[in-house]
A and B are shown apart, each in its own frame.
Chain A
Amino acid sequence: MTNATCARAASVSPLVPVDIGHDVYAAVTDPETAFWALVDKTRIAESIAEGSPLLENFREKSDSFAKELQALRFELTPSGVYLNPTERCNLNCTYCYLPGKQRSEGQHMSESTLVAALTRLRDYFRSVMPEGRLPRAIFHGAEPLMNKGAVFAAIEEFRDDFAFGIQTNGTLLDDAAVDFLTARNVSIGLSLDGPVAGITDATRLTWGGKSVHEKVLKAMEKLRGYGSWSVITTCTTENLKHLTQMVELFHAHEVPTCMLNTLRCTLPGARGVKPADADMGKALFAALDRTHALYQKTGRKLVVANFANILIAILAPTARRLMCDISPCGGGRAFFALAADGSLYPCSEFIGLPRFNGGNLFEGGGIEAALKSDAFGAVTSRNVDRFAPCSDCAIRHFCGSPCPAEAHEMNGGMDRIGAFCDFYKEQVNYALRLIADGKSDNYLWDGWDEGTDTTFLMR
């Protein structure tokens, strides 16, 4: 299918054709409402012409789709917080978005301060969330288990007030810590960058240069059988060709969910290991294909959550879990981050960037003031409808042009794209091809659409 074919078809319809690289199907989208359909690529013009069933049905629903997307993009109130209980980390990863001085010499939040913070956060969330729904509180890093005593005391005290999670490098996750966290249904995320130590060590070492690979594997063994854990692999030039082995390792360890994240290029150190967009796509899609083959062979899924979120963004925009692939992103509106010094940021990704400090939890107007601050507004007003090339992109609301911190620091402004524009386009095409082939449910967790209603169906 040529660009000219797409252009001719588009000239007679509001729906925009997209070549997704499928043998039979092309996509057509209404970018503003994130509506999409897959049509015979040899019949695009007649499929979306005036009077066609697709166009008629779309027009009946387009107002409700627009309202739905408006609510998702602009009318949410916060329901989660990322808690940084310490500035310190025992690792010095190449691509970390937090400044090295903070991680090596920074401060812990005291137990009493953390408890005071959670008290304020609990009261705030009670004021904005419906009764019966718990806010999410994710301990994040730096390495939260560097301040384990305070973190565990806080989880114990507020276990009925928050759904807790912890994102950890896994090196301090001993038997007692696993028992404590799993007994309280805390969601646990680990990080591992390679299938063997030599690959992991390329980007994740202690400050003294020691490998942590085996420690993370031991932590994974401890968590085998637990329902709520995941492992993140940050994709870099150093591990990209090993992603297929990564998912084989994860599947063998019965990891229920993993993430194969593109690294964030917010700080300059990360940009030295940034993969090219095409390489990122090729490696990720090979790894996803491998998870599918493993599922067919064993009947057990390994959900690659960052990709699952793209599929869900297409199939059910409001059911997405991660809020990076929507514009504005979730930072500063669906969630925010609390730094160890009490400062509030739209997202942990901004903690190394003082201009995005929205104020202090314990001073002045606290959370409400931060949400209204210019620092938060710079993020929450970033809108892909308003800057090129996103404003003309047919899949802009399946992508969201992540990430604002990266766009600002690497590319010079909030009205710039992030680091992986071409990769994100190819990722959406790959997802649409799976939908065309009837395979998408195989990449999602069972029951992913529980609680949803089908509002449009043609097939």
Chain B
Amino acid sequence: MTQNVQAPVPTKQAAAPTIAVRKSCNPDGIGLSHYVLMDRKAAK
């Protein structure tokens, strides 16, 4: 006797969640080759 085997119904995988981030501030850039983290506490 053969058994009817029902093929599994393909299920749609959940989509990976969308990622989008944007932050804003007053522009403060000035530099070229010297990277100025000059607002950092600098003293030894």
Contacts and interface: CB of A to CB of B under 8 A. Distances in A.
Interface of A: 24-25, 35-40, 42-43, 46-47, 53-54, 57, 61, 65, 68, 71-72, 76, 79-80, 82, 136, 138, 140, 163, 165, 167, 182-183, 185-187, 189, 225-228, 230, 232, 256-257, 259, 261, 305-306, 309, 315-324, 326, 330-331, 334-335, 347-349, 435-436, 445, 449, 451-459
A185 B36 CA distance: 12
Interface residues of B, number: 29
| Residue among B16, B17, B26, B43 having the largest count of chain A Cβ atoms under 10 Å | B16
Contacts of A40: 15-16, 18
Given A182-B44, A226-B42, A321 B31 contact: yes
Contacts of A136: 30-31, 36, 38
Nearest to B39: A163
Contacts of B20: 35-38, 54, 57, 456-459
Nearest to A228: B42
Contact of A39 (B18, B21, B27): B18
Nearest to A335: B30
B19 A436 contact: yes
A449 B23 CA distance: 8
A138 B43 contact: no
Interface of B: 15-38, 40-44
Given A71-B27, A76-B27, A455-B23, A82 B44 contact: no
12 contacts: A24-B16, A82-B32, A189-B35, A227-B40, A227-B42, A256-B37, A259-B33, A319-B23, A321-B29, A454-B22, A456-B20, A459-B17
Contacts of B15: 39-40, 42-43, 46-47
A394 to B, nearest CB: 15
A230 B24 contact: no
A331 B32 contact: yes
Given A82-B32, A451-B25, 6 more contacts: A25-B16, A38-B19, A43-B15, A187-B42, A321-B30, A456-B22
A322 B22 contact: no
A347 B33 CA distance: 10
A185 B44 CA distance: 9
Nearest to B25: A452
A413 B18 CA distance: 40
Contacts of A68: 24
Contacts of A57: 20
A364 to B, nearest CB: 25
Contacts of A320: 27, 29
Contacts, number: 188
A452 B28 CA distance: 11
Nearest to A436: B19
Contacts of B19: 25, 37-38, 435-436, 458-459
Secondary structure call for the B interface? loop
> Across chains A and B, which 5 residue pairs bring their CB atoms closest together, nearest first?
A80-B30, A228-B42, A37-B20, A316-B23, A305-B35
A261 B33 contact: yes
| Residue among A53, A65, A187, A348 having the largest count of chain B Cβ atoms under 10 Å | A187
Nearest to A432: B19
A144 to B, nearest CB: 11
A342 to B, nearest CB: 20
Nearest to A323: B29
Contact of B22 (A80, A140, A316, A436): A316
Given A72-B27, A331-B32, A228 B16 contact: no
A228 B40 contact: yes
A61 B38 CA distance: 32
Contacts of B30: 79-80, 136, 321, 323, 330, 334-335
A165 B36 contact: yes
A317 B26 CA distance: 10
A315 B29 contact: no
A326 B28 CA distance: 13
Nearest to A64: B24
A35 B18 CA distance: 14
Contact of B23 (A54, A138, A183, A453): A453
